[in-house]
Amino acid sequence: MKRILIVNGPNLNLLGRREPEIYGYTNCETIISQLRERFPDLTIDYFQSNHEGELIDRLQQVGYDAGTGIVLNAGAYTHTSLALADCIAAIEVPVIEVHISNVHAREEIRHRSLISPVATGIIVGLGTDVYRLGVEALTRL
């Protein structure tokens, strides 16, 4: 695995100031720069969108590139988007589903993920460290 794409879905552009008691105080820029420092041999790209179709377009763009892996936090689309799940099922690169909060300890609607059945693996509830753990998992595949 040489190239990693970190994908954040809706409202995750607000990390650091969005409900920090749930999602922490670290913003996206810090998360990505820490990942680049920690994994200097990897090319780490970042994409965030609040729009379902834009997320699908970006996943499709890299979805057949050998040597690429995706760490995906789809935000609330995790629980609702059959289109995103279909996209992940269609593409060939590994996708690690991550969630900062422990979705299983929250409202019932967050317990169901449409993405989990088609993800390569799942990392949940360990704070923003889930992104690092997702990258590490991809490097070991």
Catalytic residues: 23, 99
- Judged by CB under 6 A, the residue of 59, 75, 115, 137 near ligand DQA is 75
In order of 50, 58, 77, 95, the CA distances from 113 in angstroms are 18, 20, 9, 14
Strands, DSSP E only, in 1-141? 3-8, 43-48, 68-73, 95-99, 121-124
- Decide whether 61 or 102 has the Cβ nearer to ligand DQA: 102
Taking the complex as a whole, the smallest distance from the CB of residue 35 to ligand DQA amounts, in Å, to 16
Q: How far apart are the C-alpha atoms of 6 and 73, rounded to whole Å?
A: 8
Termini Cα distance of the chain:
8
Output the smallest distance, CB 12 to ligand DQA, in A. Answer: 6
115 neighbors 78 (Cβ within 8 angstroms): yes
- The verdict on 115 binding ligand DQA (CB under 6 A) reads no
Does the protein bind ligand DQA through residue 63 (CB under 6 A)?
A: no
Using CB under 6 A as the binding rule, the residues of this chain from 84 to 113 that contact ligand DQA are 99-101, 103, 110
| Contacts with ligand DQA, residue ranges (CB under 6 A) | 11, 73, 75-76, 78, 99-101, 103, 110
